[in-house]
Structure 1
Amino acid sequence: MLEAAHQFDPGEGLTVPAAPGGHGGAVRDVDLERARGAGRIVLTGIAGDTRVAEVYQRFPIALMLPEIADASSKEVVIVNASGGIAGGDRLDIEIVAREEAAVVVTNQAAEKVYRALDQPARIITRLKVCETARLAWLPQETIVFNGARSLRQMDIEIHSGAELIALEWLILGRTACGEDILGGHIADGWRIKKDGRLIWADGFRLTDDVFGQLHRAALLSDYKAVGTLVYFGPGLDARLGSLRDIAPSLECQCAATIVGAIIIVRVAATDGARLRRGLRSLLEQFGEELGAGPFGVPRMWSC
């Protein structure tokens, strides 16, 4: 169903400063055509059968549901038809998994955040995992270009009997292309609630005056690709042990810990290609540990 009558705004009130300095008569982001995209999908499941209950999409966002033979879960692919994210864009995504749904959500390709003139882009994602549903949020990388300005907010609601993996990862300039990030404003935030109670909040922020210092050992050192993976589900202590056993085999730096009722995994690499290989291996090995379902490497990562 296209353009259903549904509205949501999980990121209302969040702000990122505009670029410093006036533009006089120069073109600003608000003077140009900017994206106002949204996508919402609700999935339900029973007896191993996951079905779509509701879909809403607004250009340039489209939600694709490829038919995959012998799949043990439903795969949702988010398409951004604009080809990237620019200053002043606003994209809202909401995924709801109910009952016994098993869902993996990814995107069609790496997302790109381009240089902004003076305004930030806003990317708001809301995940809700109810009852005994299983949801894997596994997008491909977000590539940040010099001068990009963005706010990404991840809001997650989980039920005690549900299971979740959620991943976000950033590439701060493509090493193979000789790209370097000299300025911009990148803000990423996470808020996770369990049964209505906030159990974890996290923020990552890079500003114009910080980019030149990122090479310092106390910051990112020589790492230009970083990510966070969150796991919620049964047997946390055993899952943590498995992740720590996996970590030394990866082609990236990886550390995991338990915070409250969730496992937090941090990953970092010197370039995006190494981080992608490390994450693929992590998901392959951890997915085997979790068994049949949505928690392996999304098929779209290989397309």
Structure 2
Amino acid sequence: MFEAFHERSRGESAASPGYPGEGQSATERFDLQRAVGAARVVFSGAATGTEIRDLYRRFPMAVAFPSVDDRGRKEAVLINTSGGVAGGDEIRIEVVAQGNASVTVTTQAAEKVYRALDRPARILTRLRAEGSARLAWLPQETIVFNRARIARQTEIEVSSGTELIALEWLVLGRIESGEELLGGHIQDSWRIRVDGHLVWADGFLASDQMFPQLRKTALLSNWRAIATMIYFGPRPESRLERLREIGASLECACGVTIVGAIIVVRVAAIASADLRRGLRRFLDQLDYELGSGPFGVPKMWSC
């Protein structure tokens, strides 16, 4: 099943125009080792709590399941054993929550995107929640180094009766380490479908000639750490005001809006440590607001 998913994704990736090196034969490209990793986990609700129904891993991706206090909830930790991604690498992740499963998925550490010679690294994440499942996708930050190239796509499918939070955050040079992005390529896109219908599409694109302009007030200004968080669940209109109150209490810049059936949260900070503190505070309060479940700060964030 996952092999079919993997091969289909390869076909879609190859059809995407606009990246140096695509459309060339293998002999025309740099003869460098590329990582092609994958991870797929399917969870399902059972009388004893949330169970793992299917698990697939392809090097360099691994999956760990730390113990949590709540038997009804599972926490999965994705591990990139190569220590980061570089140009031409491909990582594919799929998480499915079925029935009344309650699942938190995070990463072992920040994902690092290193300088690329030509092609971008590609990261495709597919999340699906079915039935009355509750799914939280809460990876740690993605750190983009100077001249790195990355194309990341997050695809989400939810249905009426499910509840989901999905987070992705980018660090565009760590100010604490004196890092500066002078060039590269970052493409970060979202596609969300509810009951099979596309309800939200979003994208962030910065390429070589754009990086010197990012510090302008009309663009990112001094913000070097930016996050997008999506909430889908019951009574979104009534959740909206509470999430705006939480956002206003943060020491980061935060905006909250509703788009149809989903709530979109944007958070930005000058330093990655400030953004992490803001997101932790947001998730702590959100977990209290939503009640017992998978939406609090993952244990791995404190390791």
Which TM-score band (shorter chain)? over 0.9
Q: CA deviation at 1:151?
A: 0.5
User: Are residue 239 (structure 1) and residue 236 (structure 2) matched?
Assistant: no
Between the aligned partners of 2:38 and 2:264, the Cα distance in structure 1 is 28
What are the ranges of 5 or more consecutive residues in structure 2 without an aligned counterpart?
22-27
Contact preservation (8 Å) 2:157, 2:193: yes
TM, length-normalised to structure 2: 0.93
Contact preservation (8 Å) 2:166, 2:229: yes
When residues 45 and 201 of structure 1 are mapped into structure 2, their CA distance, relative to the original with a 3 A threshold, is same
Q: Which residue does the alignment assign to 2:295?
A: 295
User: Are residue 13 (structure 1) and residue 12 (structure 2) matched?
Assistant: yes
Contact preservation (8 Å) 2:49, 2:71: no
Contact preservation (8 Å) 1:157, 1:193: yes
Q: Which residue does the alignment assign to 2:227?
A: 227
Q: CA deviation at 1:73?
A: 1.2
Contact preservation (8 Å) 1:16, 1:120: no
Contact preservation (8 Å) 1:113, 1:142: yes
Q: CA deviation at 1:248?
A: 1.9
Q: CA deviation at 1:46?
A: 3.1
Between the aligned partners of 2:32 and 2:102, the Cα distance in structure 1 is 40
Q: Which residue does the alignment assign to 1:251?
A: 251
RMSD of aligned residue pairs (Cα, Å): 1.8
Contact preservation (8 Å) 2:173, 2:179: yes
Aligned length: 294
Between the aligned partners of 2:270 and 2:141, the Cα distance in structure 1 is 14
User: Are residue 171 (structure 1) and residue 168 (structure 2) matched?
Assistant: no
Q: Which has the higher helix share?
A: 2
Worse-matched range after superposition: 245-254 or 279-288: 245-254
Q: Which residue does the alignment assign to 1:74?
A: 74
How do residues 123-272 of structure 1 correspond to structure 2 at under 5 angstroms? 123-272=123-272
Between the aligned partners of 1:30 and 1:125, the Cα distance in structure 2 is 27
Secondary structure, counterpart of 2:12 in structure 1: coil
Q: Which residue does the alignment assign to 1:23?
A: none
Q: Which residue does the alignment assign to 2:25?
A: none
Between the aligned partners of 1:287 and 1:104, the Cα distance in structure 2 is 12
Between the aligned partners of 2:234 and 2:205, the Cα distance in structure 1 is 32
Contact preservation (8 Å) 1:48, 1:101: no
Worse-matched range after superposition: 123-132 or 60-69: 60-69
Letter in 1 for 2:150: S
Question: Matched residues, percent identical?
Answer: 57
Between the aligned partners of 2:29 and 2:169, the Cα distance in structure 1 is 26
Q: CA deviation at 1:17?
A: 3.5
What are the ranges of 5 or more consecutive residues in structure 1 without an aligned counterpart?
21-27
Between the aligned partners of 1:30 and 1:263, the Cα distance in structure 2 is 43
Q: CA deviation at 1:30?
A: 4.0
Between the aligned partners of 2:183 and 2:196, the Cα distance in structure 1 is 38
TM, length-normalised to structure 1: 0.93
Contact preservation (8 Å) 1:29, 1:116: no
Letter in 2 for 1:283: L
Q: CA deviation at 1:172?
A: 0.2
Contact preservation (8 Å) 1:185, 1:207: yes
When residues 48 and 236 of structure 1 are mapped into structure 2, their CA distance, relative to the original with a 3 A threshold, is farther
Contact preservation (8 Å) 1:231, 1:264: yes
When residues 287 and 5 of structure 1 are mapped into structure 2, their CA distance, relative to the original with a 3 A threshold, is closer
Between the aligned partners of 1:59 and 1:185, the Cα distance in structure 2 is 25
Contact preservation (8 Å) 2:2, 2:40: no
Between the aligned partners of 1:126 and 1:100, the Cα distance in structure 2 is 19
Secondary structure, counterpart of 1:7 in structure 2: helix
Letter in 2 for 1:7: A
Letter in 2 for 1:259: V
Q: Which residue does the alignment assign to 2:24?
A: none
